[in-house]
Amino acid sequence: MPEFDRVAPHYDETRLPPSEGELRAVIEGLGGARDVLDAGVGTGRFARPLLEAGFQVCGVDLSRGMLARARAKGLPRLVRGTLLRLPFRDRAFDAALVVHVLQLVPDPFPVLRELSRVSRGLVLAYLPGPHGGGRLGPVRRRYREIAGELGTPIAPRARYWENGDRIARHCPPTQLTTLELPSSARRRPGEEWQWRTFGGLIDVPEEVHEQIVERLRAEGLLEEPRERPRPREVRLAVWEGEALEARLRESPV
């Protein structure tokens, strides 16, 4: 997705690193796997600590900018490619991992089919859950409204948070672990690039954007929150690769 090329230089500044509990759950889920594919590796937020923990990690991503950041972290095995057609042979890895990606695709099942195809053993995935845009949701919604009033309509932005429930319903995981994490967004006062980029607002002309921001500030929507962001929950699903592949063949999805 082009937006990830644009945000790549700042991406790690907007996200906390994986917590100890998060990494522990992923490592336990990987079991005896050693050669792991990180599908949608991004800047290597998970791949780097997994490499340091002794795993052999290969990362694949479509964004050149994100791969450049991962390469700068010393990750030796990085490949550019789409998760809908992974550039690897069947059973190339002990396990495949996909984190914070399945809410970005209209249909998650082709991605899961590819992950199960290239895995000799396990498939691990973060399942998206209910999401209303967090505290930035109202900012983005009002931004779109003002843009329309100024003659620059913005198409609604799709986010497929229901994919987690769809996956769990059609392909019940062997293991499902719920993790509570601190809010991952890091917002610096006066900088709108984070919510602008990830909200699909980056193509708004700069002069229109400046007018919108002035109105958002006047309405108090860009003030720093008085309350600390609430912890969020993520679900880590683990499947036996061949069992997942068979389930996907049987499923009508």
Q: Write the pLDDT tens digit of every residue in 60-115.
A: 999 999 999 999 999 999 999 999 999 999 999 999 999 999 999 999 999 999 99
- List, in sequence order, the alpha helices (H) in the chain: 2-7, 20-30, 47-52, 64-72, 109-118, 137-149, 163-170, 193-198, 206-218, 241-250
Q: Is residue 224 part of a domain?
A: no
Judging by DSSP bridges, how do beta strands 119-127 and 232-240 pair with one another? antiparallel
Q: What is the pLDDT of residue 223?
A: 74
Q: Is residue 145 part of a domain?
A: no
pLDDT-derived band at 7, boundaries 50, 70, 90: confident
For residues 187-204, average pLDDT? 64
181-218 exposure pattern, b = at least 16 Cβ within 10 A, e = fewer: eeebbebeeeebebbbbbbbbeebeeeebebbbebbee
Give the mean pLDDT of the chain.
87
Both tokens of residue 89? Answer: 């042979």
Task: Name the domain count of the chain.
Answer: 1
Q: Is residue 205 part of a domain?
A: no
**158 or 53: which leads in pLDDT:** 53
- Count Cβ atoms within 10 A of the Cβ of residue 148 and give its class: 0-12 exposed, 13-18 middle, 19 or more buried: exposed
pLDDT-derived band at 190, boundaries 50, 70, 90: very low
Q: Is residue 52 part of a domain?
A: yes
In this predicted structure, the answer to whether residue 120 has a pLDDT above a threshold of 90 is yes
**Cβ count near 1 (within 10 Å):** 12
pLDDT-derived band at 158, boundaries 50, 70, 90: confident
CA torsion 110-114-117-120 (nearest 10°) is -130
Q: Is residue 203 part of a domain?
A: no
- pTM of the entire predicted model: 0.86
In this predicted structure, the answer to whether residue 189 has a pLDDT above a threshold of 50 is no
Q: What is the pLDDT of residue 228?
A: 55
Q: Is residue 93 part of a domain?
A: yes
- Round to whole Å and give the CA distance between 66 and 51: 18
Q: Write the pLDDT tens digit of every residue in 130-148.
A: 765 566 778 888 999 999 9
**188 or 24: which leads in pLDDT:** 24
Q: What is the pLDDT of residue 64?
A: 96
pLDDT-derived band at 10, boundaries 50, 70, 90: confident
**Enclosing domain of residue 246:** 2-131+158-183+231-250
- Round to whole Å and give the CA distance between 99 and 131: 16
Q: Residue 23's domain is classified under what CATH number?
A: 3.40.50.150
pLDDT-derived band at 207, boundaries 50, 70, 90: very high
In this predicted structure, the answer to whether residue 232 has a pLDDT above a threshold of 60 is yes
Q: What is the pLDDT of residue 237?
A: 97
Q: Is residue 200 part of a domain?
A: no
Q: What is the pLDDT of residue 22?
A: 93
- Round to whole Å and give the CA distance between 142 and 216: 8
Q: Write the pLDDT tens digit of every residue in 30-64.
A: 999 999 999 999 999 999 999 999 999 999 999 99
Please, are residues 136 and 41 in contact by the beta-carbon 8 Å criterion? no
Of all residues in the chain, the percent with pLDDT exceeding 90 is: 60
In this predicted structure, the answer to whether residue 24 has a pLDDT above a threshold of 90 is yes
Q: Is residue 222 part of a domain?
A: no
Residues 6+ apart with CB under 8 A from 17: 45, 49
